[in-house]
Amino acid sequence: MARYTGPRCELCRYIGDKLMLKGDKCTSPRCVFERRGNVPPGGRPKMRRRISDRGMQLREKQKVRFTYGVLEAQFRRFFAEADRLPGMTSDNLLILLERRLDNVVYQLGFGDSRAQARQIVRHGHIRVNDRRVNIPSYLIKADDTITWRPQSSRTELYKVVAERVASRNVPGWLKLDEQQMKGTVLRLPTTEDVDSRLSGKAVVEYYSR
């Protein structure tokens, strides 16, 4: 499955905001954005050119896409699905992205970042309702349970995750059993559960032109 393989720190510098794409490194002194955040990738211009309304919409769209680690073609498919659902397309889009299995694994603290969570899912470590699922874009539903595959509990990765999972703040629509390393979807997420920095409205405006 296609994924972005370039330097993630440049994505944050392009957007002009820290997107937490590299987990703990983003909160450490090694964070490139903290050291060079005001300088966009590709050079050191003396002054930034004024961004048009269209440019701002593009930047906000890219911010959502980069945050969830989705390439453009797949992002458009999510948008098309959100447009078909009843309700506001902007809200539907963010909720669909939040329901992705790789995002849920990240929100439960099983992955240090969404990129790592995606890799954990792709390697077959995760089970949904006792069934192995290795598709990062799989959409979870209310009452679903997310657990580790029994064989994966013997890996070094699992041991590292189990030690740090207690420090994770799990969102209210999820429940985490730290002892069993089991997550439960209490309800579907709402727009209030989505990062407030993300604008679904700007995405709709961008694709509507």
The ranges of the chain annotated as CATH 1.10.1050.10 are 8-97+195-208
Give residue-wise pLDDT tens across range 108-119. Answer: 999 988 999 999
Give residue-wise pLDDT tens across range 98-154. Answer: 999 999 999 999 998 899 999 999 999 999 999 999 999 999 999 999 999 999 999
Amino acid at the residue 175: K
What is the model's pLDDT at position 56? 85
Residues 6+ apart with CB under 8 A from 133: 101, 121, 126, 127
Query: Residue 26's pLDDT band (boundaries 50, 70, 90)?
Result: very low
Tokens of 61: 């769209």
- According to the CATH classification, is domain 8-97+195-208 in 2.40.50.140? no
> For 101-185, which CATH class?
alpha beta
Whether 3 and 118 have beta carbons less than 8 Å apart is answered as yes
The ranges of the chain annotated as CATH 3.10.290.10 are 101-185
Single pTM value for the model: 0.80
What is the model's pLDDT at position 43? 56
